[in-house]
Amino acid sequence: MGRWTNVLVPFFLAAAGIVLVRAPFLIASSPYEASMGEVSKIFYFHVPVAITFMLSAFVCGIASVVFLVRRTRGADHVALAAAELTVVFGLMVLGTGPFWARKAWGVWWVWEARLTITLVMWMVFVAYLLLRRFGGPGSEMLAAAVSVFGMALVPFVYWSVNLWRTMHPTTNVLPTLPPSMSAPILWCFLGFICLYIGTLLVAVRLERNRALLEDAYLALED
């Protein structure tokens, strides 16, 4: 695994760098929504980050399920690394969304279904990290259950716009976008996915090394 990580990390990070360096030029040449002007181009950044945020929650939740069932430390390392990235990407989602909302809706924040569930989901993964940091021995089991709950919120975030009246567009809008708008979104998504995979592999390796270091300290104390 270590040998493959040494190969995959530079590959994904380099790919992310190439894609994301090109992304601003694609976004600059892409069309914008008539009533919002240039501010609407936040959409090309906000949507790929939001998708990555939800995928990261799934990675954390699935790894936590594997850890709860099999008690494998590798799965726990993946879950912890994914939780950290879920919080980071969630913060990017919550940070960029208000700029769109201010121009489109006239307010920075609205307590509608999708925004509220997204905030709750982000706070769940923050709670996961707090449990791992301050929960003491055995907290990894409780934290794993918390992350499974966070993963279960992802479908509600996605389908909330179809189930309740919200200010977000429904899920039918994205597939119907013209190629001039969908291409930059897919391009940015590719860049963020490459960045996510590369940083996830680095975070997993760091967590594994931290666990080995803790084991060495415990062995010395014994």
pLDDT per position as a tens digit, 115-148: 999 999 999 999 999 999 998 888 899 999 999 9
> pLDDT tens for residues 96-115?
998 888 877 888 898 989 99
Q: Do the beta carbons of residue 94 and residue 118 sit within 8 Å?
A: yes
Q: Token pair for residue 172? A: 């039918």
Higher pLDDT, 124 or 170: 124
Mean pLDDT of the chain: 90
Interatomic CA distance for residues 184 and 191, integer angstroms: 11
Q: How confident is the model at residue 219 (pLDDT cuts 50, 70, 90)?
A: confident
Helix (H, G, I), strand (E, B) or coil at 2: helix
Over residues 87-101, the mean pLDDT reads 93
pLDDT of residue 161: 87
Q: Do the beta carbons of residue 50 and residue 199 sit within 8 Å?
A: no
> Among 155-159, 185-189, 209-213, whose mean pLDDT is lowest?
209-213
pLDDT of residue 35: 63
Q: What percent of the chain has pLDDT over 90?
A: 62
Please check the confidence at residue 66 and state whether its pLDDT lies above 90.
yes
> Among 10-19, 136-145, 213-222, whose mean pLDDT is lowest?
213-222
Q: Do the beta carbons of residue 90 and residue 154 sit within 8 Å?
A: no
pLDDT of residue 222: 65
pLDDT of residue 45: 92
- Report pTM: 0.92
Helix (H, G, I), strand (E, B) or coil at 93: helix
Q: Do the beta carbons of residue 152 and residue 25 sit within 8 Å?
A: no
What DSSP element (H or E) covers 116?
helix 113-134
